[in-house]
Amino acid sequence: MKRIVALVLCLCWWGWNGSPAAQPPPVHPNILFIMSDDHAAHAISAYGSRVNQTPHLDRLGREGVRLENCFAVNAICTPSRAAILTGKYSHINGVPVFNRFDGSQWTVAKALQAAGYHTGVIGKWHLQSDPTGFDYWNILVGQGLYFDPVFIEMGERKKHSGYATELITDFALEFLEQRPTDRPFFLMLHHKAPHRAWQPHPKYAHQFDAVDLPEPETFNDDYATRADAARAAIMRVSRDLTRNDLKLSPPPGLKGEALAAWRRGTDSELEVVTDGYTNRLTGAALKKWKYQRYLKDYLACIASVDESVGRVLDYLDQTGLVTNTIVIYTSDQGFFLGDHDWFDKRFMYEESIRMPFLIRYPPELPAGRVIEPMVLNVDFAPLFLDFAGVPVPAEVQGRSFRPLLSGLPPADWRRSWYYRYYHYPNEHGVEPHYGVRTERYKLIYFHRLEQWELFDLLTDPHELRNVYSDPQNARLVADLQAELTRLRQELGDRNQYADLK
């Protein structure tokens, strides 16, 4: 019934806008899911980026729907991928850190394959076990390399010449070209970029040479008022970027482990060429230089991802697939772009948990709509099944947000959600934590430290003022703690991985 109402409203919408009467959406649309790795929403111009332009991603946003509040429930690569495949939280799908994914469990790919979809995954996989539920797979080994990477194609290793982002795009277009045309397809096109160590294609490597990128408002965050976790984290632009990250040249003659150790080194003083002169930089000047060096490479990697999206959209145009294909662009989680003096992710802070999410499907979704309600990565699997007309198994924890996309948010849509990060100590030393986010507030508990943080996202969107200990917030804290407990019980988090190292 809801579907019929949505369809009628959709047809009315087209009618009101004077467009030709839309065809009813096809029953089994193709699903093209494009996901990059560590691409923060604030490095997409459709999301108001201050540092780069992404014309092809912007086109997707212009022609489709943009989610303003899409979040990862555990903001790190492998766990987010497992959450997307299973529609379940880390403590249920067995991947709280970089665990091996148990491919015998239910996944959305298996469900779509069983429903007659031709399924494929190409590019970054990073779940250790071989993909299951895919008719075709061609994945990078582990994190994969930017240049001349080795892929595993249906179990067979093969080294390819070229740049990872371009190769992944080539393989995806081949998949589309060679697919059986009597069945719908589900393709997961997963880029490695713009993951560390941010190695751009030569054609974009100097794109930002003449640019002085603006620094984020929180660049000089001193972590005052915060839990000890912020100070303890090892991901500062000013201190923790390695010589490898900064693309510094090693002394001649270094080889093997000695070279690797040199590359891992960090510097509090550097001699670099700025404005045509060699200068010795320290302190604030060096921090600024490192920020520019880091972010320019990161953004140049994104230029290739944007170009890839353009190639794929052109292919859909040329082949007429545009009318019956759902196209999605997202990233496995966000990233700190010098925000709080950090690179990397992991924390429950906004820059890290926020995923870009653009979706285009002309028969059903209006162009240019922006959606505010909170959507999670565990909702993706139910969304795909909803569009494919496949029932969602009861044990799936996410919920389809198709009604939101159609402008009909259910009255009981979530007003709060649960986050949990486990991976400690790892090289970044981010304290494990869990918490609850509502539309306005965020409560975080660093359980090893037994320290809390509370942020009012309305008055403090950059999360600089922890107001947990403010006496006037006592009632608010109690309410949020009760909600946190309720969510943990509802989701079955019984500290299954509390002692994880």
- Minimum CB–partner distance for residue 122 and Ca ion (Å): 17
**Can you tell me whether residue 219 is helix, strand or coil?**
coil
Report how far apart, in Å, the C-alpha atoms of 95 and of each of 81, 411, 412 are.
9, 32, 29
Place of tokens 């996989």: 125
CB 67 within 8 A of CB 409: no
- Minimum CB–partner distance for residue 159 and Ca ion (Å): 24
57 half-sphere exposure, CB direction, 13 A CA radius: 30
Query: In the window 15-34, what residues touch Ca ion (CB under 5 A)?
Result: none
Query: Rounded to 5 degrees, what are φ and ψ at 327?
Result: -115, 130
Q: By CB under 5 A, is residue 351 in contact with Ca ion?
A: no
Nearest residue to the partner Ca ion, using Cβ = 77
- Minimum CB–partner distance for residue 39 and Ca ion (Å): 8
- Minimum CB–partner distance for residue 500 and Ca ion (Å): 19
Query: Rounded to 5 degrees, what are φ and ψ at 383?
Result: -65, -50
Query: Rounded to 5 degrees, what are φ and ψ at 419?
Result: -125, 145
* Number of residues near Ca ion (by CB under 5 A): 4
376 versus 480: smaller Cβ distance to Ca ion = 376
Longest dimension (CA), the chain: 72
Residue 341, sorted as left (phi over 0), alpha (psi -120 to 50) or beta, turns out to be: left
419 versus 445: smaller Cβ distance to Ca ion = 419
Q: Which of 28, 34, 38, 422 binds Ca ion (CB under 5 A)?
A: 38
Binding flags for Ca ion, 137-176, as an x/- string (CB under 5 A): ----------------------------------------
User: Which amino acid belongs to residue 206?
Assistant: H
- Minimum CB–partner distance for residue 287 and Ca ion (Å): 24
Query: In the window 424-483, what residues touch Ca ion (CB under 5 A)?
Result: none
Q: By CB under 5 A, is residue 240 in contact with Ca ion?
A: no
How does DSSP assign 49-97, residue by residue? Answer: -SS---HHHHHHHHHSEEESSEE-SS-SHHHHHHHHHHSS-HHHHT-SS
37 versus 135: smaller Cβ distance to Ca ion = 37
37 versus 483: smaller Cβ distance to Ca ion = 37
Q: Which of 46, 60, 77, 302 binds Ca ion (CB under 5 A)?
A: 77
Window of 69-77, 217-225, 254-262, 454-462 that interacts with Ca ion by CB under 5 A: 69-77
332: Cβ contacts below 8 Å, ≥ 6 apart: 35, 36, 37, 38, 72, 77, 80, 81, 84, 355, 377
124 versus 360: smaller Cβ distance to Ca ion = 124
185 versus 421: smaller Cβ distance to Ca ion = 421
Window of 72-80, 218-226, 434-442, 468-476 that interacts with Ca ion by CB under 5 A: 72-80
77 versus 404: smaller Cβ distance to Ca ion = 77
C-alpha 47/C-alpha 61 separation (Å) is 9
452: Cβ contacts below 8 Å, ≥ 6 apart: 227, 443, 444, 445, 446, 468, 477
C-alpha 385/C-alpha 387 separation (Å) is 5
- Minimum CB–partner distance for residue 127 and Ca ion (Å): 12
Query: In the window 305-334, what residues touch Ca ion (CB under 5 A)?
Result: 332
82 versus 454: smaller Cβ distance to Ca ion = 82
- Minimum CB–partner distance for residue 140 and Ca ion (Å): 13
- Minimum CB–partner distance for residue 212 and Ca ion (Å): 28
Q: Tell me how far the alpha carbon of residue 152 is from its chain's centroid.
A: 23
Window of 75-83, 137-145, 264-272, 336-344 that interacts with Ca ion by CB under 5 A: 75-83
C-alpha 158/C-alpha 149 separation (Å) is 9
46 versus 193: smaller Cβ distance to Ca ion = 193
The 3 state secondary structure assigned to 371-432 is ECCCEEHHHHHHHHHHHHCCCCCCCCCCCCCHHHHCCCCCCCCCCEEEEEECCCCCCCCCCC
- Minimum CB–partner distance for residue 297 and Ca ion (Å): 16
Q: By CB under 5 A, is residue 37 in contact with Ca ion?
A: yes
Report how far apart, in Å, the C-alpha atoms of 76 and of each of 65, 81, 191, 327, 344 are.
25, 9, 15, 23, 9
**Can you tell me whether residue 322 is helix, strand or coil?**
helix
233 versus 385: smaller Cβ distance to Ca ion = 233
Task: Note the residue count of the chain.
Answer: 501
38 versus 364: smaller Cβ distance to Ca ion = 38
- Minimum CB–partner distance for residue 142 and Ca ion (Å): 13
Q: Interface with Ca ion by CB under 5 A: which residues?
A: 37-38, 77, 332
